[in-house]
Amino acid sequence: MGSISIDQDRVIVLSSKAHGDQTRVIRVLSRELGVVPLWVRLGTGKKRQAGLWHPGALLEVTSLKRKGSEGLFRFHEVHRVVMFEKLISEVRRSSVAFFLSEVVLKTLPEESAHPEVFDLFWDTLTQLEEMPQTGWIHVQFLGQLISLLGLAPTPETRVGRGLDLQTGEWMDGVFEDEDHLGPELATWFVHWTMPHAALDASPKLSISERRRLVLGQVRYLQHHLSGPKTIQSYDVLESIFSS
């Protein structure tokens, strides 16, 4: 992309990194642009806006601009579209938001717009604030993301076959490692890619099985989009939900 100027855009905060005492580089998922970095001046005193830029925040910016084909984006004004309370104050909800934000940041290519992915993520974070149980919403999001990107494997009708996460192909046997799911987890993997997959039909899996399923979903996405990267926030998420 060259120079860019957009009058108004909605963004979801993915990460925040200090860039001097009063500024930060904020990576966001923009509906119009995809994953991009913003240069943000936090302000001082009562005008300081550090709390606005937490992972999962749903914001709207005006006069989003960048001169040239590289560098940071700047904007004129920002305001919060959805005012979160539970997502910020409850550790289970905030850990899910941090995890999904890191997955999106490390999986989607920069400056590649996916409005439908943006809408799915926005809706998921809104649900995360409101729903009573949050234990499987990240699994649902990852499954629906796989489907939305056209990456879902074809359901397998033959019993006892596992799934190769590198190719999306079915395999004989129950061989399992970080790039292969056995028959039971492979079946649940496909289940969450289906349009009818609902949170009230969550599987009864052990902690270790859920871990393999979630990390399998992430690894599958990354094999097809960006290459495997460690998601550091997952261990925090799992420890919170296991306690």
pTM over 0.85: yes
DSSP 83: -
Average pLDDT, the chain: 91
Residue ranges covered by each domain of the chain: 4-80, 86-242
- Distance, CA of 105 to CA of 181 (rounded, Å): 24
> Do 93 and 54 meet the contact criterion of CB atoms below 8 Å apart?
no
When the candidates are 1.20.1440.120, 3.40.50.300, 3.30.1370.160, 3.90.1150.110, the CATH number that belongs to 86-242 is 1.20.1440.120
pLDDT per residue as tens digits for the range 44-77: 655 556 578 999 999 999 999 998 877 899 999 9
pLDDT per residue as tens digits for the range 179-215: 999 999 999 999 999 988 877 667 788 889 999 999 9
pLDDT exceeds cutoff 90 at 135? no
> What pLDDT score does 242 carry?
83
- Distance, CA of 147 to CA of 144 (rounded, Å): 5
For the residues 71-86, what does the mean pLDDT come to? Answer: 93
> Do 118 and 12 meet the contact criterion of CB atoms below 8 Å apart?
yes
- The CATH architecture assigned to 4-80 reads Beta Barrel (2.40)
- Distance, CA of 111 to CA of 147 (rounded, Å): 21
